[in-house]
Structure 1
Amino acid sequence: MVLEGAIRRSKRDESSFSGYERSVLDPRTVTRGRLDSLLAGTNVHLRDGDVSSVFARIFRLDEYVVARVRTRTGHIVWRPSAAPGRRRFAVVFVARGRLAVGTDGSRHVAAGEAILMPFPERTPITLGSSSPVEVIAFAFETDAVVPFDVTPETVGSLHPSSSVFQASYSLLRALVDSSSPEQGASTAALRSLLKGSARALVRAARVPSRSLWEDAVEIITDQHTDISLDARRIADQLNVSTSTLYRAFADRPRGVAEELRYQRALTASRSLAEEADIPVSRLSRQSGFGSASTLRRALKALNEKAEA
C-alpha cells in the first residue's frame, strides 16, 4: 500500500481527521487482514470476495473522501456508526459493471448511473456485484450539506444527463486519479470544490420539500463570511419580515444570530487548522466576524460544545 499526505488531529475532536491523504490499495501486496483493518475505521466489512482482485485509489481531504475501486466480485456491508451524532452521506457512481444495493440485492445501479445513500443509522447496507465492477465513491459529512436533511425516504434519482452529475463525476475522477500533492491555498480551493459538489449532488437527488428555515440556513452557509450579513439582509433575500424569519428558527437548535456565529466559528476553526499563526485580525475578517473579541468568544463556545 502506498501512502502520502499531511495528517493533523483537530483540537476540537482528537478522533477527527484533518489534512489530506492519498493512498493506493495494490492487490499484489494487500492481505485480507490488512484490508479489514483499513476498512474498520469506515464501518465497512468485506463480506465475501477475492481480495486479490481489489484495486483502489483513495483521496481524503478533511471530512471528504473520494475513492475509485475496481474488483472482480464481492460484497461489502456498511454498518451503522457507533459514534452518536456522526452522520454521513455517500454518492456512488458506477463506471463499469452493475452494482447491487440492499440486503436482498433488489436495487441495481448500472454503468453510467449513480446512487446517493445516507450512511446507515440502524440497518446495515450491502453493496456488491457478482461480476467485475468499477465505482467512484464520494463520502462526506452532513455539515457539508446543511440545511438538507436527507433520509432514504427523501432521496430521489441522480440523472446521468444532468450537468451536476457529469461535472461532479469528472471532478471526482480527476481528483482521485491525480498524483500531485495538495498544499496551502490549493487544499482550500479543493475543499470548496468538494463542498460545492456535495451540496449540488444532494440537492439534485433530494425530493423537493423546501422550508423557510432551510432557505435561510443555506444563505448563511454560503454567505456567512460577509461581515454585513445579518437577520435583516437574510430576510430581505427571502422576501419575508425579520419576525417571520425568527419564527422559522424558533424550534431549531440555533437562532439566526447563533447560526451565523456557528458557521463563522467553523470557518475560523478550519483556517486555524491550516495556518496556526494566522493574525487574529485577518482571521476575524475572513471568517465574517466584526471583531477579535467576538471571534474569541465564538471559538470558545464551539470548543466547549465539542468537549461537552
Structure 2
Amino acid sequence: MERVARAHYKEDSGWSPFPGYRTQQFRIRGPLPPGIDKVLKAGVDLRAPTRTATIEASLLRFDRYLVVRGESSPIDLVWKRERASAQGRTLVLFLERGSLDVGSDQRRLRLEASQIAIVPPGAGPVVLHAHEKIAGVIFSFAASELAPLQTRWYHSDGGVVRESVLALLTAAATASPMPDPQAATSLRSLLRAAAHSLLVESTHVSNLRDTDTLALVRLIVENRFQVPGFSVDGIAREAGLSRRVLERRLQAVDASAAKILRERRIQNAEALLQEQPGLPAREVAMQSGFSSPVTLRRALASQRTSLES
C-alpha cells in the first residue's frame, strides 16, 4: 500500500498546514495489507473476493467532515460504526461508475452510476458491496453539524444539487492543502453548505412521500426531466414507491406520471424554440430530455393534435 500524506501532524507545530485539516492519497495494488483499518483510521474494513484489489483514493479530513474520492476494483467496504461518534454520522454516496449494493440492518438498496444515496446515523455496520469496478465520492459528516435537520434514507438519480455538490467534494478531496486559515474557514463553510443542501432536498422529498404524491412527482420531474431516458420507473424509484402504487395514487387525483413528464419536456422544448429559433433540433431535444429530434417532433405534433381536437 502506497500512501502520500499531503498534510500531516508535527509534534512541535501540530497539524500542518492548520489544525483539524488532513489530506492524503493512498494506492493499493495487490493483496490487501493486514490491519488496514488502523492504517486508514476510518473504522472500516476492506474485503476483496480474490483477496487482492486495485484501489486509488484521495482523502480529506476536516473537523467533522470526511471526503473520499476514488475508484476500486470489486470490493466490500464495511463501515463498522462501533463508536458512538460513528453512529452519529451521516453517509452520502455519489456513484459515478459501476454498481454498488448498500445495506444495513434497516434497509438495502442498489446504487447505479450517476445516482446518490444517503445513509442516516445509526448503530450496526453499513456494507458497501461493489460488483464491478467503481468510481465515486464518499461524503461523511456529523449529523449534529446540521441539527435540527433530520437525515433519512434517500436514493435518487441526482440532479442540479447532486452535480454541484459532487464537483465541490471532488475538488476538496483532490486539491492541494491550503496554508491560509481564512481559506480553511471558507472550505468548512462550503462543506457545511453542501451537507445542508443534500439534507434539505432529501428531507423535502421524504416529507412529500408521506403527504402528497402528486406534488412529489412534479418535484422529481422538475429536477430530472432533462435527463434523456428518465422515465416513470425512475420517478417511482425516487418516490420510494412501486410503479403500480405510484400510478394508483395518481389515478386517484386524475393524474399520470408519464403525462406530467411528457408535458414538462414539451413545455421546455417549446420555450427553447420560441426563445432561440435557430437552435438545432438535436440541441432542443437534448436540453428537453428527448432521446432524439425524431422523438421531439412526434411529441410536438401529438401536442398540437390534442390541442386542436
Bucket of the pairwise TM-score, normalised by the shorter protein? 0.5 to 0.7
How far apart are the structure 2 equivalents of 1:57 and 1:30? 20
In angstroms, what is the RMSD of aligned CA positions? 2.9
How far apart are the structure 2 equivalents of 1:44 and 1:20? 20
Moved over 4 A (4+): 6-9, 28-31, 103-106
Secondary structure of 2:7's partner?
strand
Cα offset for 1:47?
3.2
Aligned to 1:218: none
Task: Please tell me the residue identity of whatever aligns with 2:60.
Answer: F
Query: Cα distance 1:185–1:80, how it changes in 2: closer, same or farther (>3 A)?
Result: same
How far apart are the structure 1 equivalents of 2:202 and 2:10? 33
Aligned to 1:155: 153
Give 1 or 2 for the bigger CA radius of gyration. 2
**Alignment of 1:198 onto 2:200:** no
Equivalent pair of 1:8/1:19 in contact (CA under 8 Å): no
Aligned to 2:175: 178
The percentage of counterpart residues that share the same residue type is: 24
| Aligned residue runs from structure 1 range 22-61, under 5 A | 22-28=23-29, 32-33=33-34, 35-39=36-40, 41-49=41-49, 50-61=51-62
How far apart are the structure 1 equivalents of 2:180 and 2:64? 16
Cα offset for 1:29?
8.9
How far apart are the structure 2 equivalents of 1:140 and 1:188? 16
Task: Please tell me the residue identity of whatever aligns with 2:117.
Answer: I
Query: Cα distance 1:5–1:182, how it changes in 2: closer, same or farther (>3 A)?
Result: same
Task: Please tell me the residue identity of whatever aligns with 1:109.
Answer: L
Secondary structure of 2:21's partner?
strand
Equivalent pair of 2:97/2:135 in contact (CA under 8 Å): yes
Cα offset for 1:28?
4.7
Task: Please tell me the residue identity of whatever aligns with 2:127.
Answer: T
**CA offsets, 1:23-48, max 9 Å, x none?**
11122599512523224x32211233
How far apart are the structure 1 equivalents of 2:195 and 2:176? 22
Equivalent pair of 2:29/2:55 in contact (CA under 8 Å): no
**CA offsets, 1:115-174, max 9 Å, x none?**
0112441x3211011210112001100122111122xxx33334412x211110110112
Aligned to 1:115: 117
Aligned to 1:102: 103
Task: Please tell me the residue identity of whatever aligns with 2:153.
Answer: V
Equivalent pair of 1:144/1:198 in contact (CA under 8 Å): no
Aligned to 2:207: 208
- Comparing 41-50 and 59-68, the one that deviates more: 41-50
Equivalent pair of 2:104/2:127 in contact (CA under 8 Å): yes
Secondary structure of 1:147's partner?
coil
Equivalent pair of 1:32/1:51 in contact (CA under 8 Å): no
- Comparing 178-187 and 82-91, the one that deviates more: 82-91
Equivalent pair of 1:81/1:120 in contact (CA under 8 Å): no
How far apart are the structure 2 equivalents of 1:101 and 1:72? 16
How far apart are the structure 1 equivalents of 2:95 and 2:68? 12
How far apart are the structure 2 equivalents of 1:176 and 1:165? 16
Equivalent pair of 1:20/1:61 in contact (CA under 8 Å): yes
Task: Please tell me the residue identity of whatever aligns with 1:112.
Answer: S
Cα offset for 1:205?
1.3
How many residues are treated as equivalent by the alignment? 196
How far apart are the structure 1 equivalents of 2:8 and 2:137? 23
| Aligned residue runs from structure 1 range 163-174, under 5 A | 163-174=160-171
**CA offsets, 1:38-65, max 9 Å, x none?**
24x3221123345440111101111111
- TM-score by length of structure 1 reads 0.57
| Aligned residue runs from structure 1 range 292-303, under 5 A | none
